[in-house]
Structure 1
């Protein structure tokens, strides 16, 4: 194997572990989700049969900053669940102890932040009411009955009943091997560095990225040695040629393209909702391929350069900055502290959240999160120079204290210490 590929494989393998939240954060997520679920089970006027932690958390694919998907199976109700969502929203907004904020009701879920974490609460239709089933028997029966219902009108029900198949989706991913899971985490991180809302918020967007990554990684099964680099390049190639994607896991019929078929719902083509914006994703994949080639030409295994955010985000924040590693653990500090009301508007808050993601990506991709404070400061000051000042010149941070600043960002590192970056006008 080429020495560059060996170095890149080592970097990818380490990175796939670095982007997993700490044990403390994972425990906090599970405890917090349990509190929210128990509240809804106790207070809701609807009959909740059972619950499922789905998404990245349920699939064991969590990366730092992932949402927590809580799926609640409701007896005797069917989508679109308007009344159920209204009921859940009332319960959550009337509970002060969760300190929830940024609550948003979508056609299929309630999204909000609580306990410093992002939650997505989704109702689902229960098709196994009254049956004494568990494990695979329960999942299989639920899946069969949901698909039978979708078959009556696939165009209408194909996506609408996705949450009702959450248990089967979690099981599918849990059956993949460790290499596939690691490549999915890497792909999810790459997608997280693409800062444009249109694609990210598309129905099934994250699931589509996951499945393309699964398909790319599974092509390594017959290789003598599995290669992270080769798998990532294959993932990029699929995205570059999105128009011709033909990804499926159970069937081999050749239908219209592009298609990325949901492995637990053959009526749900996850690629179909992206047609208006897919040129952006293809452009980003092309740029990542160029970066890979540049790294290969110079024989440098630098994931921080590969995962630099796209497109560059340059807010007008040419004031004073400070960077440091706090002695507190990340979970004990707010991830975004705004002290100046000038910044506390919806538009500016969204921009600050984007910038926070940039900081987190820069630290994780550089590997500096496991290094000392001086190396972390170097990574972040260079990133601020590029992203804020559009200059590679040396930047000297302010000596001000964090509490004296207008805004403080707090991002986690795998060693559980909090990295704080502050700004003041």
Structure 2
């Protein structure tokens, strides 16, 4: 294997591991999710059968910090959109003093809230296996068959309403993929996290996930699997998004939708996830993929293993973020890491101003990307290289101009309005502070 490809593969493999949330984060998030689902089971006036942590956490494809999708299967005659069930859940969650639950919001099909600083999405689902016995796979098969029979009657009306009822099947399908596929899915989702879209696309992350699965499966016929080759294939698919034609399972329903682009949900053949993308979003993702392809070619030409440049957010500069953070009063330094809070706010305006809070979320994402990709680019990457990458991110992506950096010894982070603490190892971190 070419030395450049070999080293890029090592960097991609390290990235796939580094973007997994810390064990403690996952443990605490899962414990909180299970406790909340037990609370709802115990106090709801509706009979709840089994429950499932679904989404990326359930599929083991979560990256950094992700929402917790929890599906509760409702016994009895209640059907989507579960208005009465959601009202009941809302009352329970808003009345409890446990788990620091706040910001409870009911949508048409779910309840969203924060608990112990984790983001939750609670989705009721129909339980078609009430009272049945058998092993897990048999019950999942029965559930999937019953749900698809309902969707087949009116795919347009029933498809989204019953999607949560396929959570067990979706989770099982992804868990059956091999480790390489799982890693490529995480890398693809990380790439997607670096992109900015002006319009919301329903199911976009699931669509990107399946494109990555398809690209990774192609590697199974190769003598040696290549992360770089698989990522290139994934990017090539998205460069030609309008012509996508991806499906995984052959079955009697597979002729339902032959339109293009097509990315068929492997557990719900009536669901073409690519159909949700509007023309503007298709043009954007294709343009972002073209830029990533250009970066890949440049890195290959200069033989550079620079994932921080490959995964630099797109667009590189957003005027709305530059407008929020006009001041160039920054302090960046390396410090000993002793479980300091990842965000400390000393100026109340950052609590009160929604634009500032939004901006903090965006730049935190910038910093995480810079630190993770710099660290993955080299097995011997030191904290000064990571610090330089963070400084470059602030200069380029927040201010779109060169910056003069202060000497940390002459400054104190406690004098600044806000501070981020971003670990780079078990014992060391980058601290980034800003004042208006």
- The TM-score with structure 2 as length reference comes to 0.90
Residue deviations 1:321-368, cap 9 Å, x none? 233445223xx73x4443323223333212211111111111001117
Distance 1:404 1:98 in 2: 33
2:69–2:122 CA contact under 8 A, matched in 1: yes
Instruction: Give the aligned CA root-mean-square deviation in angstroms.
Output: 2.2
2:306 paired with 1:302: yes
1:158-169 correspondence runs (5 A): 158-169=159-170
- TM alignment of 1:224-243, pairs within 5 A: 224-243=223-242
**Aligned partners of 1:359 and 1:211: how far apart in 2?**
27
Show CA shifts across 1:276-300 (max 9, x none): 4211111111111111111111111
Structure 2 unaligned regions, length at least 5: none
Question: Shift in Å at residue 134 of structure 1?
Answer: 3.7
How many residues are matched?
Answer: 420
- Aligned pair in 2 of structure 1 residues 346, 44: CA closer, same or farther (>3 Å)? farther
Give the distance between the partners of 1:319 and 1:283, measured in 2 at CA. Answer: 31
Map of 1:49-68 to 2, 5 A cutoff?
49-68=49-68
Q: What per-residue deviation string (whole Å, max 9, x for no partner) do you get for residues 2-57 of structure 1?
A: 22211211111111111112222221121111122122222222211111011111
**Cα 1:97–1:132 shift into 2, 3 Å:** same
How far is the alpha carbon of 1:148 from its aligned partner? 0.9
3-state secondary structure, aligned to 1:97: coil
Aligned structure 1 segments of 4 or more residues deviating by more than 6 angstroms = none
**1:91 matches 2:102:** no
CA apart distance, 1:79: 1.2
CA distance in 1, matches of 2:392, 2:183: 28
Q: 1:326, 1:420 within 8 Å by CA — same for their partners in 2?
A: no
Deviations 1:115-172 (A, max 9, x none): 2222221111111112123410111111111111111111111122111001110110
- 1:356 paired to 2:356: no
Counterpart position of 2:415: 404
Match of 2:405 in 1: 395
Q: Is the 8 A contact 2:32 2:99 kept in 1?
A: no
Q: Would you say the 8 A contact 2:344–2:419 is kept in 1?
A: yes
SS of 1:15 mapped into structure 2: helix
Cα distance in 2 for partners of 1:9, 1:82 equals 49
Q: Which residue of 1 aligns with 2:273?
A: 270
140 and 371 in structure 1: CA distance in 2 versus 1, 3 angstrom threshold:
same
Matches within 5 A, 1:191-202: 191-196=192-197, 198-199=199-200, 202=201
Which stretches in structure 1 are left out of the alignment for 5+ residues?
A: none
Partner Cα distance (2:134, 2:285) in 1: 42
- Name the CA shift for 1:63/1:46 in 2 (closer, same or farther; >3 Å): same
Quickly say closer, same or farther: Cα 1:101–1:412, change in 2 above 3 A: farther
More displaced stretch, 60-69 vs 288-297: 60-69
Q: Which residue matches 1:42?
A: 42
Counterpart CA distance in 2 for 1:15 and 1:192 is: 14
Whether the aligned pair in 2 keeps the contact of 1:368 and 1:379 (CA below 8 Å) is no
TM-fit CA distance, 1:372: 5.0
TM-fit CA distance, 1:394: 4.6
Matches within 5 A, 1:98-247: 98-196=99-197, 198-199=199-200, 202-247=201-246
Deviation, 1:315, is 2.7
Alpha-carbon displacement from aligned partner over 1:200-247 (angstroms, at most 9, x marks no partner): xx2211111110100010011111111111111111111111111110
Task: Give the SS at the match of 1:385.
Answer: helix
SS of the residue corresponding to residue 419 of structure 2 reads strand
